[in-house]
Amino acid sequence: MADPKPSISPHVTPDGRYFVVRGRLWRATNPNLSDDERERLVKDLMTARRAVKSAKGDAEYLRKARSDVDVAKVLLGERGPVWWTDGSPDFNRKMVKNTPYRGWYKAISKDEPPP
């Protein structure tokens, strides 16, 4: 039986800083992390996301779980201070069409970035 959700790899910017989902840039994981550290942090992130999902009705547990998600994402480099050192601005969560990556995205996409 075919997988109902096909796996589609998102486009990654040429500098490796972002990937694009539905026309929006999302900061990539810091490539300078060791494989062991990245694996540990991803496990922590997945544990925290499961805790968020299971926190129904418990506001304190939900707050803690969301905080744990945030901590893991900051340590992975996906939130918080940028992991690159050249002084380039952060375009995390911005529409790609409103960033310097617009031309690159238009060139690799079949369609114009969404409005």
Which of 4-8, 38-42, 93-97 shows the lowest per-residue confidence on average (mean pLDDT)?
Answer: 4-8
Q: According to the model, what pLDDT value does residue 115 have? A: 46
**Sorting pLDDT into bands at 50, 70 and 90, what band is 109?**
confident
Beta carbons within 8 Å of 84's beta carbon, 6+ residues apart: 15, 17
Q: What is the pTM assigned to this prediction? A: 0.82
- pLDDT tens digits, 26-84: 999 999 999 999 999 999 999 999 999 999 889 999 999 999 999 999 999 999 999 99
Tell me: pLDDT of 4 over 80. Answer: no
The amino acid occupying position 55 is A
